[in-house]
Amino acid sequence: MARDERGVTAQSEDFASWYNELVLKAGLVDRGPAKGTMVIRPYGYRVWELLQAELDARIKASGHENAYFPLLIPQSYLEREADHVDGFAPELAVVTHAGGKELEEPLVVRPTSETIIGEMMAKWISSHRDLPLLLNQWANVVRWEMRPRMFLRTTEFLWQEGHTAHADEQQAREEMLLALGIYQEVARDYAAMPVAPGEKTPGERFAGAVSTMTIESMMRDGKALQAGTSHYMGTNFATAFGISYAGMDGREELCHTTSWGMSTRMLGGIVMTHGDDRGLVLPPRLAPYQVVIVPITRGDGTEVVAAAQTLAEGLRRAGVRVHVDDRDQLSPGFKFNDWELKGVPVRVELGPRDLAAGTAVLVRRLGDQGKQSVQLDTLPQLMAGILEEFQMFLLARAAEFRDTHTSDVEDWAAFESGVASGWVRALHCGQPGCEDDIKTMTSATPRCVPLDGPPQTGRCVRCDAPAAYGKRVIFSRAY
């Protein structure tokens, strides 16, 4: 297997190996000791914190309040909603012993919190005045994974889960779309991931939901990543947990609830949307270091390092996240590779000759990668624009990649060839059996019925039965 000097398999050669090696080598994660667990290292955690801050601000600004619910849930709670327990039972981690004794009732480590939050909502809501109840929690959840993969499918992951209760269906469905809109905005404007918002087909719904909305994003191997989901639960959980309210007329009514989540899986999405053979490519808005300054020193580098620190100060004052790599035991070339591997958007090289000329050399991680000589004293003012341009470039590049790997298909041969390397939009009958058949034949699944798809009728691309949904469905292999 061909590896470059840093030991990462080329993306084009073996995408899965490239990914698995890169997330470790770039210092985003490490393997935890228990099966399928991950350690999120500082470099990866910082990306999560930056994403978290944006998501949290939007969740709060739209009227939601953060709270925290217990990790351990009585097993019987999950059994109250039949579809929910069917969906999650195979993935549960169960605490049977605590405090040196066997528990009377086992506790499950939350795989998601609809049940325990439903129980509390039932206690807190009594009148229409208590609605809507708009809650969010930042938490860890555990779902036992047979085929774990860093960020994408791990036994434990971090996420936010919004949980809301409303007086009627319309308000709950609006909430579901509001959350989806936040996810779309954060994915697009921060992760530079152009996503397709849409509704899941019944077979792909969340366990216990009436409707599941998703944002789907294309990775550079043409597969889809479900990057965030938002669910309308109807009155399913309200019935199971007794979440009801007295209306203005005094009559007791069931609440309509929603839940929605975005997780550390997004970090895997960022890696697979922008990365290349040389390593990560981080969108500036989520990059721990937006700029790294590498002083080029031979012999005594005191003066150059001092100038690098001064430049860094100027950049910091201009609001740029900057790092000076002054490790003296490493060569500039090693450092260049190292920061390319770590996906830093902009590298600034500063040597004695540059310094004498009052300039520095600027190199972008992608796009125009030529070495560009810039005036040292103008860099702090210019950098915000350079980073913003880079951010826009990544989004445009990802959108172009997606569009050139997406096709409308009318027949089965085109469908099969389309999902081998990207997404297809096709008419489908909506029958679960036909979905299964397609999955068996091609590994592709219906990703979503896009919200913005134009109306279209016709016959199923696979079985020729009349098409459902009134529009095309996106099919793809997926993570």
According to CB under 8 A, which one of 10, 93, 361, 463 is a site residue for a second copy?
93
Nearer to a second copy, 95 or 246 (CB): 95
CB atoms within 10 A of CB 82: 12
According to CB under 8 A, which one of 2, 5, 100, 248 is a site residue for a second copy?
100
Name the packing angle between helices 379-404 and 265-274 (round to 10°): 90
- What x/- string results for residues 315 through 334 when contact with a second copy is judged by CB under 8 A? ------------x-x-----
Q: Is 24 in the site for a second copy (CB under 8 A)?
A: no
Q: Is 250 in the site for a second copy (CB under 8 A)?
A: no
Burial class of residue 113, CB neighbours in 10 A (0-12, 13-18, 19+): buried
Length of the chain: 479
**Looking at 62-70, 267-275, 347-355, 462-470, which segment touches a second copy (CB under 8 A)?**
62-70
Least Å from the CB of residue 218 to a second copy: 28
Least Å from the CB of residue 137 to a second copy: 8
According to CB under 8 A, which one of 2, 5, 33, 298 is a site residue for a second copy?
33
The answer to whether 222 touches 102, Cβ cutoff 8 Å, is no
Q: CA 53 from chain center: how many Å?
A: 14
Burial class of residue 455, CB neighbours in 10 A (0-12, 13-18, 19+): exposed
**Looking at 132-140, 309-317, 408-416, 436-444, which segment touches a second copy (CB under 8 A)?**
132-140
Q: Which residues contact 444 (CB under 8 A, 6 or more apart)?
A: 415, 419, 424, 438, 475, 476, 477, 478
Q: Is 66 in the site for a second copy (CB under 8 A)?
A: yes
Least Å from the CB of residue 91 to a second copy: 7
Q: Is 89 in the site for a second copy (CB under 8 A)?
A: yes
Q: Is 67 in the site for a second copy (CB under 8 A)?
A: yes
Least Å from the CB of residue 96 to a second copy: 5
Q: CA angle, 147 as apex, 199 and 24 as ends, to 5°?
A: 100
The answer to whether 299 touches 352, Cβ cutoff 8 Å, is no
Q: Which residues contact 334 (CB under 8 A, 6 or more apart)?
A: none
Q: Is 151 in the site for a second copy (CB under 8 A)?
A: no
Dmax over Cα atoms in the chain, in whole Å?
Answer: 84
Number of residues that bind a second copy (CB under 8 A): 58
Nearer to a second copy, 2 or 146 (CB): 146
Supply φ then ψ for residue 261, to 5 degrees. Answer: -145, 145
Residues that bind a second copy (CB under 8 A): 30, 32-34, 37-42, 45-46, 48-49, 65-74, 77, 89-100, 106-107, 109, 116, 119-120, 123-124, 129, 135, 139-140, 142, 144-146, 155-156, 158, 327, 329
